[in-house]
Structure 1
Amino acid sequence: MKRLTIFITALLSLPAYAAQLTLELGDTRRTWQTVELLKHPAAQEVRIDDDVSYKRAMTYRAIPMASLLEGIKPEDHLQAVALDGFAAELSAAPLLSQNGAKAWLAIEDPEHPWPALGKGKPSAGPFYLVWTHPQASHISPEQWPFQVARITRQRAVAERFPVMRPDPALPVDSPITQGFNLFQKNCLACHRLNGAGDSQFGPDLNIPYNPTEYFGADFLKRYVRDPQSLRHWPQARMPGFSTRVLSENELDQLVSYLQHMATRKVTLP
């Protein structure tokens, strides 16, 4: 029994390098272990002045995303899936860019764990997509996925989920079409629509009811800006979208898209 106790104590004292990140980039698939990423030749210390998740300055051991996305082109589309079902839709171009905003994969060292995101919550690790100078490319909070487990190359959202598309007869510069683009960037990471989408995080925004059917437009906009101002719920997870993230014109476009999709519902099994 004494030997078993010593063995268990020694085992628990070892660094916990069990976390892994899977990259599925078309024809290639690779799984990275934490220890490999921490020792990656491109890894360096990166300071994030205004971290979206921690709401303060943070310093990480991180790798430029461009160093990991071998074979990916700017016109490609990627998806980052988190442990909790959050699925961020990401254009590859900003992730590959070396100018303006720059994307980094932050790696949590088990020997020096990051702080919890809140009382009773885990940290943002083991892998977290962060940005330096995010304002330069209008990077939204939904483009900062944390607890990332997998990054995959995907077809464009409109191809994968045609039931999300607005009427194809609409011009590309229509507020509704622009709203669809904003929906992909800011909403699809958490929500489905017409039963379509990969996220397991939040409710469907069209089935059985679209929020424009039970919120007046002004109240819906207030809800997007500050969810707690309409529904005070300590366990709520939806963040507010400030005018810095979503301008008034963009919010109008997003609501226009949702109103339009309320007329294009599908029948689910």
Structure 2
Amino acid sequence: MRGLIIALMVLSASVQGADLRLDIGPGSRDWSSAELLAHPRAQRIEVGEDVSYKRSMSYRAVPLAALLQGVGVEDHLQAVASDGFAAELPAALLLGSSGAVAWLAVEDPARPWPPLAPNKPSAGPFYLVWTNPAAARIGPEQWPFRIAQIRRLAPLAQRFPQLLPARNAGKQINAGFAQYQKHCMACHRLNGAGDSRFGPDLNIPHNPTEYFAGDFLARYIRNPQSLRRWPQGRMPGFDQAQLSDSELAQLLDYLRHMAQRKVKAP
């Protein structure tokens, strides 16, 4: 019965369409599915290697830059999904019109997208997709789906100082902090800091560098299912194209460093 109720709720939402909240300052507003599908910049795009569907997909989409009125390249944005996923996104990446281009794919209630997996909903109603993502090395965490809100926020260092390495940490660890922001913050918190409600905290009570022996943490990041086969596991693997060996080493050094900088969660 519960499964039937959920299915009916999903069907009802798909028929009625949805609203996207843009909280970006003077350009803030709510956009309905119908408004976005009829947007003058909306067009049909082809995504050759869709991160979520693992195949080629076709979408009606709007260039995200066309919706970000008043947002500057120095700004910081966050896409918040209905399941608690919160992707941190530099505005400069989203405003680019050459190389990698960000698009807001909009699900048509009359032609819903396929489910992401059996008994799961689709990636809609709003999904951030990319054309030519390799040009900017766009990672899988930068393809948020089921987006409910996009908001402009203060830089991470101001919002969450408990994420910062020590001032004398050095280039390797600071580079690892940048990798953490790109690849980990959409799902995880660290020292209680972050907006995601998706995955566990990576420092409290224990840092994964404290309980993964040898090279097992690196292997886990590359392919989580290679260490423990768990059908419900949602963490993706990060291959060389997404996270090089040197970048992975930077991330691990940052995590080891932060294991010595634990603070109480708020």
The TM-score with structure 2 as length reference comes to: 0.93
In the alignment, the residues of structure 2 paired with residue 166 and residue 235 of structure 1 have an alpha-carbon distance, to the nearest angstrom, of 33
Q: CA deviation at 1:36?
A: 0.4
Taking the aligned partners of 1:13 and 1:34, their CA distance within structure 2 comes to: 14
- Paired AA for residue 175 in structure 2: Q
Greater shift in the superposed pair: 111-120 or 21-30:
21-30
Give the AA of the match of 2:130: W
- Residues 43 and 215 of structure 1: CA distance in aligned 2, closer, same or farther (over 3 Å): same
SS of the equivalent of 1:16 reads helix
Q: Contact (CA 8 Å) 2:17, 2:125: kept in 1 or not?
A: no
Q: Secondary structure at the match of 1:121?
A: coil
Q: Distance in 2 between matches of 1:93 and 1:112?
A: 32
Quick one: which amino acid aligns to residue 185 of structure 1?
A: K
Q: 1:258 aligns to what?
A: 255
- Alignment correspondent of 2:232: 235
In the TM superposition, residue 121 of structure 1 has moved relative to its aligned partner by 1.1
Partner of 2:153: 154
2:200 paired residue number: 203
Could you list the structure 1 runs, at least 4 aligned residues long, displaced by more than 4 angstroms after superposition: 12-15
Q: CA deviation at 1:256?
A: 0.2
Uncovered stretches (5+) of structure 1, i.e. residues with no partner: 1-11
Q: Distance in 2 between matches of 1:238 and 1:127?
A: 21
Partner in structure 2 of residue 6 of structure 1: none
Find the counterpart in structure 1 of residue 48 from structure 2: 49
How far is 1:16 from its partner? 2.3
Distance 1:142 1:166, change over 3 A: same
Q: For 1:145 and 1:127, how far apart are their aligned partners in 2? A: 9
Kept after mapping to 1: 8 A contact 2:81/2:144:
yes
Equivalences, count: 256
How big is each residue's C-alpha offset from its partner over 1:220-240, in whole Å with a ceiling of 9 and x where there is no partner?
Answer: 000000000112110000000
Distance 1:265 1:13 in 2: 45
Q: Deviations over 1:43-66 (max 9, x none)?
A: 000000000000000000000011
Superposed CA offset, 1:156-185 (max 9, x none): 1111000000002234xx110000001000
> Which deviations, in whole Å up to 9, do the C-alpha atoms of 1:84-110 show, x marking residues without a partner?
000000001111111100000000001
Conservation of the 8 A alpha-carbon contact between 1:104 and 1:130: yes
Q: Does the 8 Å contact 1:124/1:146 carry over to 2?
A: yes
Alignment of 1:1-269 (within 5 A): 16-171=15-170, 174-268=171-265
Q: State the TM-score, normalizing by the size of structure 1.
A: 0.92
- CA-CA distance at 1:18 after TM superposition: 3.6
**Cα shift at 1:15:** 7.7
1:78·1:154 contact (CA, 8 Å) conserved in 2?
Answer: yes
Bigger Cα Rg:
1
CA RMSD across the alignment: 1.5
Shift of 1:28: 3.8
